[in-house]
Structure 1
Amino acid sequence: MDLFRSVFYEENNVLIQKNLDKYNYKIKEYSLGGETEKERYEASMKMLNNHANTTLTVDKLPFEVEVYYVAEENCILFISISHIISDGSSLVLFVKELVNNYNGEEDKNEVLQQIDHNLWKEKLAKSEESKKQNEHWKNQLKDIQLEIDFPGDREIREEDYVGEQTRFTIEEDFYKNLCKFIRKEKVSMCAPSLYAFNLLIAKRTLISYVYLWMNWAENICRF
């Protein structure tokens, strides 16, 4: 999949995407220091928090995997997936298949995956029919204008949209009810979090049209 080996860099103030020829990724492994398992666990949490608060740079691969060895039979698997190659739905499928493989279970859901589309696309690209289509469209579009200069009424401004971070802890009962809700509705944790955030903005600003699914968001907050 091209996105898994894509990096971006800037050249003459233009953002350019490049697909790496090879993708030899190695999983990073850490044997943590500390006399007790608790100390090693706390050390791993500190490293994970630092990793989570690191600003995303598009000049690096958008997929990272790390393993933290806390004890002989206690490890932490850390997977960082950029939103450029995933969304809420794809993460749900990814975690489901990862857990099934870890538990030695077969996935009986015979649906088309992204890899199926990639293989079909690759096979099509090498076919004679594809070559004919390419030649046809090259002839059809040979006189097309490659660049379109749209007039602008103002210069591009460089602005900083980095906001502040606020950390908080939710009550355990609320968290358990929230987990039950997302399993029942088959959604990711991102969905209710987003709707709750939109609801909060609406109530703070007294503007009702800044969010959608008002009733659903209110039900989330009524556990």
Structure 2
Amino acid sequence: MQTPVKPWVLGLTGGIGSGKSAAAQCFADLGVHLVDADHAARWVVEPGRPALGKIAEHFGPGVLRDDGRLDRAALRALIFQDAEQRRWLEALLHPLIGQEILTVLARAESPYAILVSPLLVESGQYKLAQRVLVIDAPEALQIERTVQRDQTSVEQVEAILKVQASREERLKRADDVLVNDRDLAWLRSEVERLHHFYLSLKGGRP
């Protein structure tokens, strides 16, 4: 039987270039236990994990690199052309990723733990959290930050923004919103303010 997760869980999300990772790091610096959904997603398809064998069996050996690891680009090319294959893959991976997230959350010793996920809303992972914090930023600023960070084009960033949950969808799920449109020192002070508020909550609720 699974032992219940002791700390309550805060889901942290935000669009590309919103400063989600910077905010998560500020919480980590304050001693809050973080679980990154992207790390969990990578971990469940590592060599030796059952999911990798099932993926290779279903899509064929072309999705594996010479070293036996998953060739993400090859897999992406296959599933983006075919919605049915994408659904098959999601049905395989989402429960495994959810289980991995719960396992890591169960190790938390801070009063609350944070699940950081860019797809918190789209993937339904917000259901694992008792409270949701959205890091928000004006779209023009998101584009500017991402272009600078990734040395990419404005068009590419706009394409990514289109496939992510819309700002409205994210904000609808939010219990708290932090508009990150200033510098890092200001972000740190805002995170600290939220942290003190979160420490006063029981189970994520006042």
**Bigger RCO of structures 1 and 2 (CA < 8 A, at least 6 apart):** 2
Structure 1 or 2, whichever has the larger Rg, is: 1
TM-score (norm: length of structure 1): 0.24
TM-score (norm: length of structure 2): 0.26
**Per residue, is there more helix in 1 or in 2?**
2
